């Protein structure tokens, strides 16, 4: 193979990032929408194991929207969303927890560990990682067993990271009242990132980033993002994602990026090139 000037520059660029990321916690929100085929799931797992071998401390928080909806439909349950947030009945909750903490979480663990990772699946219930309460939604709409996070206790994650394990978190929380809550995975990832003092958070989804009139916004400031949410340009599942990114940059996470996880190895392109990809949320 010819080793071109361009190859060399790219390699040097990538190498310069490795030192910067050493021992830094990077939270990666792996959206259900990006988990589309086996090939992609494998390349994701490969990338994450590679990041860890380079000295980075990745923490995965996953969603699972499409798969949760599919399971509910198969069981004849109603699926509904309000403002990008899932409405969860007590019947829905059982399915959501089963699919998120069971099927999806273990599938991710399987892939990571097949590629040589030491991944450990935890739900927000484990180690009391996520204490939640019922989420109150604007306009008095009842979202059912959808929770908002009261506090994050990151000790378990820190223990795992210290011992070289790779935590994979499902977005389920536990209330003081013993009630289980389904929590938006973007919100969960952002709260965990802040609690861990993460250096960076990456949201992997199924679009290139925040789109405005069909065009990608490479960067979005807090003020602009809040305006676009208000104008409903950012809606559906993108709204909690952008809000989660805003929460991170306002609370000390240096970088928050929304990228297209359906693009193979996008996480590597984002982390190891100057240009990066997707939408960066800045203060
Ligand atoms: N302005 C916008 N730019 C880009 N996407 C937008 C915008 N407004 C709404 N969206 C929608 O947000 C979706 C991404 O959020 P969604 O909740 O569906 O996926 P996810 O968060 O990656 O997965 P999961 O919810 O399973 O974790 C996009 O597919 C798109 O339909
Ligand atoms: Mg979502």
User: In sequence order, which ranges of 153-184 are alpha helices (DSSP H)?
Assistant: 155-162
* pTM, two decimal places: 0.96
Q: Where are the domains of the chain?
A: 24-282
Tell me what pLDDT residue 83 has: 77
Ligand 1: residue whose CA is nearest its atom 18: 237
- Nearest bound ligand to the CA of residue 32: 1
Tell me what pLDDT residue 34 has: 86
Tell me what pLDDT residue 1 has: 65
Q: At a CB cut-off of 8 Å and minimum separation 6, what does 97 contact?
A: 123, 172, 180, 182
Pocket test for ligand 1, best of 205, 233, 239 (most atoms within 8 A of CB): 205
Nearest atom (ligand 1) to Cα of 68: 26
The Å distance, Cα 122 to ligand 1 centre, comes to 24
Q: Which residues line ligand 1 (CB under 6 A)?
A: 31-34, 63-65, 185-186, 205-207, 210-211, 233-238, 241
Is 201:189 a contact under the CB 8 Å cutoff? yes
**Gap between the Cα atoms of 143 and 26, Å rounded:** 31
The Å distance, Cα 206 to ligand 1 centre, comes to 7
CATH topology of domain 24-282: Carbamate kinase (3.40.1160)
For 153, the token pair is 């206790």
- C-alpha Rg value of the chain to the nearest Å: 18
Question: Which helix H or strand E contains 41, and what residues bound it?
Answer: helix 38-53
The Å distance, Cα 116 to ligand 1 centre, comes to 31
DSSP symbol at 136: P
Tens of pLDDT, residue by residue over 17-33, are: 999 999 999 999 999 88
Q: Which residues of the chain have pLDDT under 50?
A: none
Tens of pLDDT, residue by residue over 200-257, are: 999 999 999 999 999 999 999 999 999 999 999 999 999 999 999 999 999 999 999 9
The Å distance, Cα 2 to ligand 1 centre, comes to 40
Tell me what pLDDT residue 106 has: 98
Q: Which of 33, 106, 29 is nearest to 66 (CA)?
A: 33
């Amino acid at each position: 193979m010819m080793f071109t000037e361009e190859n060399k520059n790219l390699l040097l660029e990538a190498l310069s990032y490795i030192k910067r990321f050493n021992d830094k916690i990077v939270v990666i929100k792996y959206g259900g929408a990006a988990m589309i085929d086996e090939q992609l799931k494998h390349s994701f797992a490969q990338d994450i194991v590679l990041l860890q071998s380079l000295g980075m401390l990745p923490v995965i928080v996953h969603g699972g929207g499409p798969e949760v909806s599919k399971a509910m439909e198969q069981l004849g349950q109603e699926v509904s969303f309000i403002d990008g947030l899932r409405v969860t009945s007590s019947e829905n909750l059982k399915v959501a927890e089963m699919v998120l903490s069971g099927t999806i979480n273990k599938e991710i663990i399987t892939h990571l560990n097949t590629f040589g990772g030491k991944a450990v699946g935890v739900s927000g219930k484990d180690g009391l990682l996520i204490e939640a309460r019922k989420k109150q939604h604007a306009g008095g709409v009842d979202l059912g067993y959808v929770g908002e996070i009261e506090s994050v206790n990151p000790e378990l994650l820190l223990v795992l990271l210290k011992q070289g394990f790779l935590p994979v978190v499902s977005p389920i929380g536990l209330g003081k009242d013993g009630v289980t809550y389904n929590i938006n995975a973007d919100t969960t990832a952002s709260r965990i990132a802040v609690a861990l003092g993460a250096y960076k958070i990456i949201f992997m989804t199924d679009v290139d980033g925040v789109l405005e009139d069909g065009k990608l916004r490479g960067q979005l400031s807090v003020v602009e993002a809040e305006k676009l949410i208000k104008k409903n340009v950012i809606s559906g599942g993108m709204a909690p994602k952008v809000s989660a990114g805003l929460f991170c940059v306002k609370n000390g996470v240096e970088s928050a990026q929304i990228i297209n996880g359906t693009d193979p190895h996008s996480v590597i392109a984002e982390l190891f090139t100057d240009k990066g990809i997707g939408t960066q949320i800045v203060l």
